[in-house]
Chain A
């Protein structure tokens, strides 16, 4: 038995050494190197809702839980890997007949999947089709916290300053289920902030419709099943009682995305600093406004802080090359909301080493994305193309540092 003690003591020490060793027991990724971290300073109740929302975001709905009958994906995380942007494989298809959104044919969103026993939607012959890459979901709390007046200060609908940039807001009507106390809720026209065409004014609407339209999951906010008019408008196959999730689940998910922290800018090297100056000089910053300030907010991290999102959140005519020729709210077929550039630095870490830019992911590099800018952005694009190769590299290095 003395031998047992003799051997047990070193074993116990080995174990304690193992437990105390971070390398052997995995280390946390460096702060700010992901899209999934919460903002600092959440109170315990908000933090609990954030954690629940995180679970909701990754939850994969089964047929028994109510996915479908027609749908695009089965979880939030199925379209937004790592809470970042998706790839063309996860892109949604919006369709219309010219300016007609054809709800009688299943428009405006094509739900091209169906549970067994149901029929998926197909693109009607002759329909205009617009692919929509899933956007990143971090930082939307900051976007929500920017006062309307701050956003409108950058609007110049008639180009009164003659700089060829004429950003304008997308005024939309909020659904009745969005409380007036929510940003973007209430009667009358509201400023659109979310979506590729800024066609959604509130996070509750964005999240509720994602559950409803993308996953076919009904909630207290949208309790009626999404039917396929092409199959006679009957929601067959989904036997789960509606609503399939309570309002609380939606609200938890809203809290989750609202308080996801955007990654900070990377190292500001000399090249990055040169690129930043060129970014300003090429007038890229006219639309990709480097920063806007939030208004008063109960959460300290969102309270009157500068938001370096590199977007004015306004609509701009991006020319015929990028036009999808279909309206969205008051946005026409040529207009797109300026895409925020924050988080560009680590996009590829969450897309298997690839990057996809523009509304449909057609650009696979920053350079391609710039080259595809047209319309109001044509002068900035030309400015970029007139830079020397080294200067172009510097400007791209700056964007890739964000």
Chain B
């Protein structure tokens, strides 16, 4: 306890805080355009994402539909200089699914040490922290961020975050929380991490850990590692052991570099899942995936009536290996996208994507589609 106290005091007391204009996570929860402010207090905003999809699989139309993908409402309130509250409510599938995506209270003890509690956005990979549709250059989220990392991944929990400034331009940030973790929904019909999220109570009375460490050597670039680990199944019932404890661990590396109107970003994730003995060989014990994306902004202010408008192009390579112990069972996608932003907070996106899929027996399939999306903050 003395050591912990000493470490805390050292953390808070040493080195002056930098005068940094950068948001904790660019595009993250404190870097959104809030449109409405009520008096001196709460700010409100949100975003909407509507799409038209035309997709074909192996020569037949697999989907042609208009979709209101989601509407999110968010609120922010600075209750004092050191106490902040942020919340986000998500409506998906035409309102059939409503969930609290975020509801946190931050107490800033020091720039290096903020206490956070509530329903957190898990800092597991940068995309999960910056996933808002209007902020993205392509309509669909990266495969690795939806099939392995269950974006949007939010969990009840509490912990700390903070920022350090080794030099004037560099910054190191961290987030570390204890959370409820995933449940055995990750093993429904295959190993599928997103199937085990949304646990607003801990299913096994043992918290999981999620943390992220980001290094920004200069203001235009960041690289980070994140991890989420903990037990996912129930192995005790009223004190009686009924099963073996099984853990799931997800590790990610992500990075972004911006140069003038260009940006390069990507994320790699690998997961390790303890599988019940009877399911070994049927369910994956290890999975991995990556995405790499390049973005460019061009033709700024082309239209006199829209001086802040610009076009944006993007190309993304996605790859997910759903079972690293098998040949096959993977998905590769190439996406080309062209967007137009009449104002920075609103984007019209037109994507073409082509997919190479292999099932668990390495039987090949092909999918392709065009997706037109409109996303805007409001």
* CB-defined contacts of A60 to chain B, threshold 8 Å: 189-190
Enumerate chain B interface residues (CB-CB to A < 8 A): 54, 56-60, 187-190, 233, 242-243, 276-279, 281-282, 302-303, 305, 327-328, 338, 350, 352, 354, 359-363, 366-370, 372
Contact residue among A3, A26, A74, A349 (Cβ-Cβ distance under 8 Å from B57): A26
Q: Kindly provide the distance from the CB of B153 to the nearest chain A CB, expressed in whole angstroms.
A: 21
B368 engages A113 (CB within 8 Å): no
Q: Bits for A108-125, please: 1 = Cβ < 8 Å to B, else 0.
A: 000001111110100000
A351 engages B278 (CB within 8 Å): no
A73 engages B362 (CB within 8 Å): no
Contact residue among B54, B278, B362 (Cβ-Cβ distance under 8 Å from A116): B278
- Stretch in A15-23, A97-105, A184-192, A200-208 with 4+ CB within 8 Å of B: A15-23
* CB-defined contacts of A73 to chain B, threshold 8 Å: 282
- Residue A171 CB within 8 A of the other chain: no
Question: Interface size (A, Cβ < 8 Å)?
Answer: 40
* CB-defined contacts of A15 to chain B, threshold 8 Å: 350, 370, 372
B242 engages A117 (CB within 8 Å): yes
Q: Kindly provide the distance from the CB of B56 to the nearest chain A CB, expressed in whole angstroms.
A: 5
- Closest residue of chain A to B355, judged by CB? A26
A3 engages B303 (CB within 8 Å): yes
A18 engages B370 (CB within 8 Å): yes
A24 engages B282 (CB within 8 Å): no
Q: Cα distance A24–B334 when bound, in Å?
A: 12
8 contacts between A and B (CB under 8 A): A19-B54, A59-B189, A73-B282, A75-B189, A81-B361, A82-B361, A115-B278, A350-B363
A26 engages B58 (CB within 8 Å): yes
- Closest residue of chain B to A28, judged by CB? B59
- Residue A64 CB within 8 A of the other chain: yes
Q: Cα distance A293–B56 when bound, in Å?
A: 39
* CB-defined contacts of B277 to chain A, threshold 8 Å: 114, 120
A11 engages B338 (CB within 8 Å): yes
- Closest residue of chain B to A1, judged by CB? B305
- Closest residue of chain A to B235, judged by CB? A116
Q: Cα distance A29–B60 when bound, in Å?
A: 10
Known: A60-B189, A82-B361, A113-B278. A24 touches B302 (CB 8 A): no
Q: Cα distance A11–B313 when bound, in Å?
A: 13
B303 engages A26 (CB within 8 Å): no
- Closest residue of chain B to A71, judged by CB? B278
Q: Cα distance A1–B359 when bound, in Å?
A: 48
Contact residue among A26, A78, A116 (Cβ-Cβ distance under 8 Å from B56): A26
A29 engages B363 (CB within 8 Å): no
Q: Kindly provide the distance from the CB of A89 to the nearest chain B CB, expressed in whole angstroms.
A: 8
B278 engages A352 (CB within 8 Å): no
Known: A28-B60, A116-B243. A350 touches B361 (CB 8 A): yes
Q: Kindly provide the distance from the CB of B182 to the nearest chain A CB, expressed in whole angstroms.
A: 16
- Closest residue of chain B to A3, judged by CB? B303
Chain A residues 317 to 372 lying within 8 A of chain B, measured CB to CB, are 349-352
Q: Cα distance A29–B57 when bound, in Å?
A: 11
A351 engages B59 (CB within 8 Å): no
Q: Kindly provide the distance from the CB of A346 to the nearest chain B CB, expressed in whole angstroms.
A: 11
Known: A26-B57, A60-B190. A113 touches B279 (CB 8 A): yes
Contact residue among B188, B279, B370 (Cβ-Cβ distance under 8 Å from A19): B370
* CB-defined contacts of B281 to chain A, threshold 8 Å: 89
- Closest residue of chain B to A70, judged by CB? B278
Known: A61-B189, A81-B359, A351-B361. A26 touches B368 (CB 8 A): yes
